[in-house]
């Protein structure tokens, strides 16, 4: 059996097979300040004041518009706070960070768990071997009521990665390269298992980067079997048994893709699609107006550290705005303690409070028509960050090098 087949078999209480529809027990149901108010309205319209299935397994996170940027947003967030008080659910209010990362840091997700939430990138929890799914309003409301959800067991694609990265090349370059080959529809309704020595050597931050872009291939979820370092991270925060879920040696895969990173150069997804990927060298010299480092894809401490290594002792180019957003307050505190914050500020960067930030419109830093931004986020669709603007997706190292030069730059040249 594959990983997803084992997880759904456990959740359904029977052995399952690809294509089968099953009711699976939920380990956690989550909603955020974007989408969460709609869930509450539907829940109370359908189930009234009925208690949620388990208050300890329902979590509300604020990560999109924090602090509230408008009266409407403030009203929505108040609705979430009031619901949490009435139902005694878990609530992670302002001063926290990106929802999925907050769930991990607070020990609410373990390998093998089944988690549903209102964020389309909930599947990045596969970085620790959990089955995370982004779902719609009705699904989340129903899951909060019953503690179960209806799934079709997906086929699984295996992606095997070997080789040693060159300096200043890493997980973001790899996942962009993979998306170029599979395309934005290449994993539609599929689970993915990332395997191979290159994946096994990755720390948690790099694994989160890879898993966070499964959505950009239209995949349901992408799994990486946790190693001892990841298991130790989870064990230090979660209660109960923490065990990895691994595929059987004889597991059947729909397709298998092989990659070798030894000759991989820094990659960039050009406007306006995550699969419009080229070598950074091919578009080097493209003038930029803004650079963003952060998001659920590249907002961990290690990402800020990679940027700081290049920015130390250097300044952001004149005319360029560099915006850096830690994924969580825990990340921010670590960056302050290590001196990374000072390096970023001295370079001329604007460092904001933790959250999703420049992943979509509605945040400080949205682009004007005809402006260009280099971003470490996961999507660059038309109009996502400002009508008429262009967004290039890159790694933190490439983003920092670009901020220094004022044009798209191979970080190995710094």
Q: For residue 117, report the phi and psi dihedrals to the nearest 5 degrees.
A: -155, 175
Euclidean distance between CA atoms 223 and 245, whole angstroms: 10
Structure tokens belonging to residue 205: 């931050």
Q: Which residues of the chain have pLDDT under 70?
A: none
Cα angle, residue 45 at apex, residues 42 and 51 outer, rounded to 5°: 90
In 104-234, DSSP assigns E strands to 114-117, 131-134, 148-152, 156-162, 191-195, 221-223
Euclidean distance between CA atoms 215 and 54, whole angstroms: 28
Structure tokens belonging to residue 133: 């799914």
Other residues' Cβ atoms within 10 Å of the Cβ of residue 137: 18
Q: Beta 131-134 vs 148-152: how paired, if at all? A: unpaired
Instruction: State the pTM of this model.
Output: 0.96
306-316 confidence digits (pLDDT tens): 999 999 999 99
Output the DSSP codes for 131-144: EEEE--HHHHHHHH
The residues pairing with 258 across neighbouring beta strands, listed in sequence order, are: 160
pLDDT at 104: 97
- Structural contact between residues 128 and 260, judged by C-beta atoms closer than 8 angstroms: no
Q: For residue 138, report the phi and psi dihedrals to the nearest 5 degrees.
A: -65, -40
| CA trace torsion 265, 266, 269, 270 (10° rounding) | -90
- The domain spans of the chain are 3-258, 267-413
Structure tokens belonging to residue 172: 């973001």
Burial class (CB in 10 A: 0-12, 13-18, 19+), 407: middle
Cα angle, residue 124 at apex, residues 350 and 121 outer, rounded to 5°: 75
- Structural contact between residues 210 and 171, judged by C-beta atoms closer than 8 angstroms: yes
Q: For residue 221, report the phi and psi dihedrals to the nearest 5 degrees.
A: -160, 150
Intrachain domains 3-258 and 267-413 with the same fold: yes
Structure tokens belonging to residue 193: 């298992």
Q: For residue 274, report the phi and psi dihedrals to the nearest 5 degrees.
A: -65, -15
Where does residue 399 fall: left (phi above 0), alpha (psi -120 to 50 degrees), or beta otherwise?
alpha
Q: For residue 66, report the phi and psi dihedrals to the nearest 5 degrees.
A: -130, 130
- Structural contact between residues 225 and 231, judged by C-beta atoms closer than 8 angstroms: no
Q: For residue 118, report the phi and psi dihedrals to the nearest 5 degrees.
A: -85, 0
pLDDT at 67: 87
Euclidean distance between CA atoms 226 and 231, whole angstroms: 6
Place of tokens 């799994």: 223
Euclidean distance between CA atoms 272 and 383, whole angstroms: 9
What are the distances in angstroms from CA 382 to CA 270, 287, 355? 11, 19, 22
Fold of 3-258: Aconitase; domain 3 (3.30.499)
Does the domain made of 267-413 have the CATH classification 1.10.600.10?
no
- Structural contact between residues 405 and 394, judged by C-beta atoms closer than 8 angstroms: no
Euclidean distance between CA atoms 414 and 406, whole angstroms: 13
Q: What SS3 state is found at 345?
A: helix
Structure tokens belonging to residue 123: 């599947």
Cα angle, residue 172 at apex, residues 166 and 173 outer, rounded to 5°: 50
- Structural contact between residues 214 and 221, judged by C-beta atoms closer than 8 angstroms: yes
Sign of CA dihedral 337, 338, 343, 349: negative
If we measure between CA atoms, which residue out of 138, 155, 103 comes closest to residue 124?
103
């Amino acid at each position: 059996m594959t990983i997803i087949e084992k997880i759904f078999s456990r959740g359904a209480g029977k052995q399952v097979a690809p294509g089968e529809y099953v009711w699976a027990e939920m380990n956690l149901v989550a909603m955020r300040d974007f989408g969460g108010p709609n869930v509450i309205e539907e829940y109370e319209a359908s189930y009234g004041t009925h208690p949620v299935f388990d208050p300890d397994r329902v979590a509300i996170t604020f990560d999109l518009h924090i602090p509230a940027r408008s009266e409407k947003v403030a009203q929505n967030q108040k609705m979430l706070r009031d619901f949490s008080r009435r139902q005694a659910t878990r609530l992670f209010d302002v001063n926290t960070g990106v929802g999925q990362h907050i769930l991990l840091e607070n020990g609410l997700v373990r390998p093998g768990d089944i988690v549903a939430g209102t964020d389309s990138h909930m599947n990045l929890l596969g970085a620790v071997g959990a089955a995370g799914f982004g779902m719609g309003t009705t699904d989340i409301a129903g899951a909060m009521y019953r503690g179960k959800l209806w799934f079709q067991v997906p086929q699984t694609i295996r992606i095997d990665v070997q080789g040693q990265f060159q300096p200043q090349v890493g997980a973001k370059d790899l996942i962009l390269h993979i998306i170029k080959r599979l395309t934005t529809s290449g994993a539609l309704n599929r689970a993915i298992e990332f395997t191979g020595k290159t994946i096994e050597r990755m720390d948690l931050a790099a694994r989160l980067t890879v898993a966070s872009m499964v959505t950009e291939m239209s995949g349901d979820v992408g799994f990486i079997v946790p190693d001892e370092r990841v298991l130790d991270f989870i064990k230090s925060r979660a209660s109960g048994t923490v065990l990895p879920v691994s595929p059987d040696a004889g597991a059947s895969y729909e397709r298998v893709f092989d990659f070798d990173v030894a000759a991989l150069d820094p990659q960039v997804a050009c406007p306006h699609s995550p699969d419009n990927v080229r070598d950074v060298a091919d578009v080097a010299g493209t003038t930029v107006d803004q650079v963003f480092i952060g998001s659920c894809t590249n907002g961990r401490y290690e990402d800020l550290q990679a940027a700081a290594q290049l920015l130390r002792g250097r300044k952001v180019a004149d005319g360029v705005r560099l915006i850096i957003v830690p994924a969580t307050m825990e990340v921010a505190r670590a960056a302050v303690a290590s001196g990374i914050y000072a390096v970023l500020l001295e370079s001329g960067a604007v460092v904001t409070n933790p959250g999703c930030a420049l992943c979509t419109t509605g945040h400080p830093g949205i682009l004007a028509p005809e402006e260009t931004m280099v971003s470490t986020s996961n999507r660059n669709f038309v109009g996502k960050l400002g009508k008429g603007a262009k967004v290039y997706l890159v790694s933190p190292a490439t983003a920092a090098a670009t901020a220094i030069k004022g044009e798209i730059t191979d970080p190995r040249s710094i």
